[in-house]
Amino acid sequence: MARSLLTVPLSLTVVAAALAWIVLGPAAALAFVALALLEIAMAADSSVPMAGIAGRLHSPARRLFLSLGIVAGVLAMRLMLPPVAVVVGSAEDPTATVGEAVFAPGAFAAHLQEVRPALAAFGAAFIWLVFAEYLFNTDRASRRSWLGRLEARLAAVARPRVWSLVTATAGVAVTSVLVASAAAWEAPEVVPVVVGGALGIGAYLGSKRLARWALHGGGGAGGAGAGGAAVGTDTDAVGTGRGAWRIHVYASTVVFERGLVVFMLFEILDGVYSLSGSGVLGADGLSALEQAAVGAGAIGVGALFLARLTSRLDQAAGLKRLRYLKAGAAYVLGVLAVLLWTSLLVPIPGVLVGWFGTVVIGLALASSLPWRAWVRRAGLRPARG
């Protein structure tokens, strides 16, 4: 399975690296391979929640989501979200900003750094609310708790959406107060954090409202209230007939959520802009346009691998067989949100998040395997002999 999954993305990586070596030189090839492997590693973490969403989509929406939807969505989010963030946060000219992102990545990275506090606050609030969907079990799904009684109690609280909003608001408030204390309550330091957090909560609520409208045709039957069922539990009712386009709108909200998570990991915690290879060994000698080409190619390889791995997990019903994988992916989001809030006070190395995500997903995978059954079988075999 792993070999077939990696064949296409690794083959593309080898071919593209060879072309980069011939056309741009060994520095470009080395940078491309390093970035592509990093993108593939991140795709492995993101594939688990993507597969969970795909399992709730109705065909042919599922086929489109698993092929073109994921690849196009990831490319659009990773390449366009940073310029949009700079335009919104700094009131820069959109055309000039896009040109700067491609031809002057160093200057663009500096502008991105200027709006970083607002972006981190925005991402932390948004991602925490995505994590809270699992923590408070907003869709009231039947599941076995991964971390025991405390997780089970949190999953059974009344009005889970209210709890999600309360905890997110508390996170924004506490972080804002701590930042204000550290900055002697100077408005230029505090306002971006408060506004960014509020916008993150608003963007999440807007995304969920759009998803609810897409699934229920503008608030018809089944609309969920503040404490009701989560959006996405009855997608079998859509995806066919004249309303087929609505399920694609819903799928786009999912791609937005996942794209935002990866953007926050790379651009905010790690401080490396997607189109710049300056943070990779050997990329310093490349021109701005060459770095942009290398970064875009690596993102494309990662998006393709994400689509293939998500499709394989969906086909093999991997999330049903490995019951705690979804829990592991959810806790990675929760920790990422906390680290984003923390990064407003102290620097957080991006590699720490990457390793933590890998470890958590690995533990979730290990705890999902039927170890006891294997031990019993191993103990019975000698007796039969």
| Euclidean distance between CA atoms 306 and 66, whole angstroms | 9
| Euclidean distance between CA atoms 75 and 296, whole angstroms | 8
Has residue 246 been placed in a domain? Answer: yes
| Euclidean distance between CA atoms 337 and 120, whole angstroms | 9
| Spatial contact of 28 and 294, defined as CB atoms under 8 Å apart | yes
For residue range 110-138, what is the model confidence (pLDDT) as tens digits? 787 788 899 889 999 999 998 999 899 88
Helix (H, G, I), strand (E, B) or coil at 198: helix
Looking at residue 351, its pLDDT comes to 63
Confidence of residue 300 (pLDDT cuts 50, 70, 90): confident
Number of other CB atoms surrounding residue 277 within 10 Å: 28
| Spatial contact of 277 and 25, defined as CB atoms under 8 Å apart | no
Higher pLDDT, 111 or 2: 111
Vertex 368: Cα angle to 366 and 373 (nearest 5): 100
Span 171-190, mean pLDDT?
A: 91
Domain count of the fold of the chain: 1
Looking at residue 234, its pLDDT comes to 44
Has residue 112 been placed in a domain? Answer: yes
Half-sphere exposure of 158 (CA within 13 A, CB side): 0
| Spatial contact of 318 and 325, defined as CB atoms under 8 Å apart | yes
pLDDT at 180 over 70: yes
Q: Exposed, middle or buried, 117 (CB in 10 Å: 0-12/13-18/19+)?
A: buried
| Euclidean distance between CA atoms 281 and 34, whole angstroms | 8
pLDDT at 274 over 60: no
| Spatial contact of 122 and 196, defined as CB atoms under 8 Å apart | yes
Domain enclosing residue 70, as ranges: 2-374
Has residue 107 been placed in a domain? Answer: yes
The runs of H, that is alpha helices, within the chain are 2-23, 26-54, 61-64, 70-90, 94-103, 105-114, 116-135, 149-155, 160-182, 187-216, 244-263, 288-315, 318-321, 325-343, 350-368, 371-384
Number of other CB atoms surrounding residue 23 within 10 Å: 11
Has residue 130 been placed in a domain? Answer: yes
| Spatial contact of 193 and 117, defined as CB atoms under 8 Å apart | yes
Residue where the block lists tokens 């990457």: 354
| Spatial contact of 111 and 86, defined as CB atoms under 8 Å apart | yes
Span 72-87, mean pLDDT?
A: 77
The runs of H, that is alpha helices, within 157-243 are 160-182, 187-216
Has residue 383 been placed in a domain? Answer: no
Q: Residue 190 corresponds to which tokens in the numbers above?
A: 């505090």
Has residue 91 been placed in a domain? Answer: yes
Has residue 10 been placed in a domain? Answer: yes
| Residue 316 Cα distances to 189, 212, 377, angstroms | 49, 28, 24
Q: Which of 101-105, 126-130, 316-320, 369-373 has the highest mean pLDDT?
A: 126-130
Q: Exposed, middle or buried, 295 (CB in 10 Å: 0-12/13-18/19+)?
A: buried
Size (the chain), residues: 385
Across the chain, what does the average pLDDT equal?
Answer: 74
pLDDT at 296 over 90: no
For residue range 5-31, what is the model confidence (pLDDT) as tens digits? 557 767 878 888 888 888 888 877 877
Confidence of residue 311 (pLDDT cuts 50, 70, 90): confident
